[in-house]
Structure formats: C-alpha cells, structure tokens
Structure 1
Amino acid sequence: MEKIRHVHRGENGRADALASLAASLGLSENKEITITVGARRILQPYEKVAVDVQMEEVLTMSKRLEGQDDPLDWRLPFMEYLQGGRLPDDRAKRAEVRRRSVQFVMWKDILYKRSLDGMLLRCIAKDEVEDVMKEVHSRTCGAHQSGPKLQMQIKRSGYYWPTMIADCIGFAKRCQASQFHGDFSHNPPEPLHFTVCSWPFAAWGMDVIGAIHTTIIKRPPIHLSGNGLLFEMGRSNCLKRC
C-alpha cells in the first residue's frame, strides 16, 4: 500500500514554479531546457550591512560630524539619555527628552529617528543641513522642488532634523532657478489688513447730520398732507412731522 503525503504550497514553491513555467512555455515532451535560479537580492540585506566608514563614503553629501562637543547640538540630549540615561537639569526639557526618546535609536554611536514607514533616518547637525539641502535640491538628480517636496525627498534619502519643513521652504525660496522658473505667485507682499470705517454707516454711504431746525428752512415742524383726501377723513390723519 502506497502512502500519499500532502506537501503545502509554501514548502513546494520551486516545483510549483517549474510546473507553471512549463505550462506557460508549452514545451514538447522530448525538449529539455536549463533553468537558472538567481538570488532575489543583488545587495546584502539591510540587517547585515554595517554602518561604518564605507557607508559614510557612499553617502558623500554628509560629513561625519557627530557634534558631541557642541552644547547647542539638538541631538546631544537624546544621545546622552539613550547611552547613559542622563537627563537635562531643566524640568520641562527633561520631560520632553523622555517623551520623545522613544522615536530615536542609537546604532554604532549614530542617532537615528524612526519614521512612520519603519525607515531609520540619520539625524544630522545644523552645520550639515545646508549641504544636504543643496545636494538634494540642485545637484545630482535635483529638480529644484518646492519646500514641502524638498523635505519629503530628504526624508526618503534618509536624513532628519527638527526644523526640516521651515528650512526647506526658506531654501527653496532663496534658490535663483526656482525664482526664475517657478509658478508666479499672486499673493500680496504683506498680509491684508481690515479697513476701519471712518464714521458710522460709511459702508452704506450715509451719515448723521443732526436735527433739522425750523428756523433754518422757515417751515413749521408739522404740515398737512393727504393727496387730495384732506377733507374726506380726519385732519389728524393728514399731519406729518418734518
């Protein structure tokens, strides 16, 4: 009695692929071909690539400046907390570092930020920002994008700093090529201001001139009117006040 064993599709992927390939090619029974199976990855997996000097040479747009000696470096509080658990003396700053530190990770003495899509963004110092924006905006494969688009391109390149949006918008506005070939903006040079009425009812073209004095127009304040009906109805109904 022969036994039949069921093999799951996940464990029998190569045989399934060969059967699908043979059915699609429509080969005859006597014809044989050689199938070459290549690796799916040309480069090494991301987990096995060491972030060392070789990786820094590939990313030539950035200098290897950690800025640990600069007390004004925005990365220093997060690096000290992740490496040694040290927090700033200021209470508000200490709470901010503790709250935001979950977004950062230290790897090979370099600070990275976790993005929403799971990509690790290398945190750079302020003195590297100008070089990164210049390289992405106008150098190799640069298309002189606008500020928000430039910020998105830098993130896709793997870099991060806190004031990315404001810095990219300002850099794109200062670009001479973007000013020449960009869309013409009809925005006013300064914010519009509200117009204050010079006097009450000015919007309707009216003004209050005061009471009409009878001594000026030589007319009593009450006169008769009735359009010919003065004697058909009471006189009190035909009085009008000026």
Structure 2
Amino acid sequence: MDLHQHVDGYCERIDPSFWAEPINAITNAAFLIAAIYMWRRSEGLFLGRLLSTVLFAIGIGSFLFHTFAQTWAGIADVLPIIFYILIYVFAATRDFFDQKTWIAGLAVLLFFPYSAALVPLFAQIPGFESSSAYGPVPLLIFAYAFSLRNKAPETAKGLAIGASIVCLSLFFRSLDEPLCNVLPFGTHFLWHILNGIALGWMIEVYRRHMLARLAKQG
C-alpha cells in the first residue's frame, strides 16, 4: 500500500493541491463545533466525553483527507468514524437496554459480520455504491429505536431522529459525483454538516437517557 498515493474521489477536487477542496475542508468545522459543544454538555459521563473526543478526531481526520487527499489521510478519516460507531454500539447496548458489559462487548463484535453481510446489499442500490459502507449504520440505529419504543420512548424517538439525519446526509454524500456537472463544488459538504449534527445529536440522546436514568434512581 502506497500511503502517499493521491486520492481523487470528490467532485470539488480538480487537482492534487492542498486547498483543492475548500468547501469540503472547511465544513469539517461542523464536527469540531458539535464535539466541543457535546464535550461541555457531557460532564460526568465518561462515554459521552469519549464520544465527543472521537467526534473531534473525525473532524480532524476528514480535514486531513480533504486537504492532503492521500491514502494515509483517508485512513485518518475512516478510523475515528469506525471507533465512534463501535463505542456507540457498546454504550447503547449496555445503557439503553441495561445489559451487562460483556453483552455490550459482544454487540460490538457482532457489528463486524452484520456490516459485512449488509454492505454488499447496499452496494446494489443504484447510485448508493459510494456510500454503501455506511448503509448498515442508520439501519441499526432504527432497529435500536424500534426495540426501545416501549422501554424508553424518548430515547427511541431521539435515535430515530438521529438515524433520519444520517440517512439525509448519506443521500447528499451519494449525490456528489452524479451531480458534478450541475454543481461543480459537489454535495459532499452537506454530508459533513448533516453528519456533524447527527453525531452530536446521538451523543445528546445518550446524555439525556443517562440523566433520565439517574433521575429515576434518585
């Protein structure tokens, strides 16, 4: 693997220069703003602050990828996203469903075969090929929301809202290349903005659930 190989995967980029994707690069601020905001709101919640830290790393990694546009930067872009998903699966399984830590850990492990089985199916959807790797995520969030509809209706509602925002962000991510001739700057920047909102909101859903649980215990 050539870690310094140039990657040109977005409509806005027309050359290998650092600022060839100014809109895509700058809109990563959405992740940073959401991360800082949720860090402040998550005082006393270890996983809330951990998710906020990883969300900040997502913004940095994505910025690197949309400026340097090389393989190593692509890895820096993807890894924090994977970590965020896995941490949230753990947190949601343990704290939303009141499961033991080992069961939450098992849910994290099961995410890998779950995703591996579904990504090829999402890749069959016309126009969704470039975003197929993310397809299993909102589906899982909707499944958690459905499962919690009676046990924790407010949390279920919050998860459904988050999954809906992720779906909208994936819609714009998938339109980037198809609409390139119409919109030279592409639509990928909307993925950044909406995804920043969605990931911040998911942390807020977790925070509210934990506060409600503490209030019941008190």
TM-score tier, shorter chain, comes to: under 0.3
TM-score (norm 1): 0.21
- Which of the pair has more CA radius of gyration? 1
Structure with greater strand percent? 1
